[in-house]
């Protein structure tokens, strides 16, 4: 048992286990998806859904409308659009 002495200050090990520096490191499953997350390693992008397209479209539409109104010198209409978008986004 002298070969497998636990060094002081080492990482977390289970009580009663020994430290073996030659051992392969354990692979931990992803905290975001568990063991099934290993299958989707190739894709780093979220799925495109109708809801996501709707949110992106509404954000772009309200943002461009607000920019146009601000560029034209209006001050009340862009703020109204902010309130309106906030209500719509909340209801979604």
Beta bridge partners of 50: none
Helix axes 50-71, 76-91, angle to 10 degrees: 170
pTM of the model: 0.47
Q: What percent of the chain has pLDDT over 90?
A: 32
Among residues 16, 14, 19, 17, which one has the least CA distance to residue 3? 19
Token output for 80: 């109204």
Please write the tens of the pLDDT for every residue from 45-90: 889 999 999 999 999 999 999 999 999 999 899 999 889 999 988 9
Determine contact, residues 55/89, Cβ cutoff 8 Å: yes
Q: How confident is the model at residue 42 (pLDDT cuts 50, 70, 90)?
A: low
Cα–Cα distance measured from residue 2 to residue 74, given in angstroms and rounded to the nearest whole number: 80
> Domain locations in the chain?
50-91
């Amino acid at each position: 048992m002298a070969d497998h002495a636990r060094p002081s200050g080492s990482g977390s090990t289970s009580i009663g286990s020994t430290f073996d520096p030659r051992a392969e490191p354990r692979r931990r499953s992803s905290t975001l998806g568990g063991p099934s997350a290993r299958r989707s390693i190739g894709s780093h992008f979220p799925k495109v859904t109708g809801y996501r397209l709707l949110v992106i479209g509404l954000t772009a539409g309200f943002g461009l409308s607000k920019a146009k109104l601000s560029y034209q010198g209006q001050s009340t209409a862009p703020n109204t659009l902010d309130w309106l978008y906030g209500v719509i986004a909340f209801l979604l």
